[in-house]
Structure 1
């Protein structure tokens, strides 16, 4: 999968996660095994895509095809991983969640602008 497609797919997931954060309630018991397995099943493809995206994005950045710093790529992956968990467990303040969301979106948009 090409970097542009990966980034657009991750942006789509990002928007779905925000909807989940905005409209769902926190789980009654965060240690619920069934809930954990559901979260794991739903997030595994996103984690896989995120790992592939990071590797592809780093290659593009190191070839100076984009104006994004390698550290931004790594931070974006970490932030997206945090956001994934906060979207299901609803355990972050809205302000913190939106800071992560905005940061991720900024890097995705910057990459898309440079590679298009």
Structure 2
């Protein structure tokens, strides 16, 4: 998968997570083993995508003159992981959730612009 495809895929996942956050209630018992298994099943493939994206993005920003720094890539990967958990556990205020969301979108958009510039 190319970096562009990884970003597009994660953007779709991000939108799905946001919808889940908006439409579901906070779980009654965060320590419920059944809920934990459900979250684990849902999030494991996305965690793998995040790790793959992070490696691809780090290689891209390290080798080129781009607007994103390696530390921003690492921070964005962390923010994605936080969003992943906050989306299911709904344990953060909407304002904080949206700050994380917009931060991830911003870095994705910068990377996409740099990819387009490289390919043109």
Q: Distance in 2 between matches of 1:66 and 1:3?
A: 14
Structure 1 residue aligned with 2:73: 73
Q: Distance in 1 between matches of 2:92 and 2:34?
A: 22
Instruction: Show structure 1 runs of 4+ deviating over 2 A.
Output: none
- The alignment's TM-score, normalised by the length of structure 1, stands at 0.98
Q: Distance in 2 between matches of 1:113 and 1:43?
A: 28
Structure 1 residue aligned with 2:64: 64
Matches within 5 A, 1:2-17: 2-17=2-17
Following TM superposition, by how much is the alpha carbon of 1:66 offset from its aligned partner in structure 2, in angstroms? 2.9
Matches within 5 A, 1:35-74: 35-64=35-64, 66-74=66-74
1:18-73 deviation digits (Å, cap 9, x = unpaired) = 00011100111000000000000010000001000000000000011532100000
Gaps of 5+ in 2: none
- The alignment's TM-score, normalised by the length of structure 2, stands at 0.94
Q: Distance in 2 between matches of 1:26 and 1:68?
A: 35
Gaps of 5+ in 1: none
34-43 or 65-74, which deviates more: 65-74
Structure 2 residue aligned with 1:111: 111
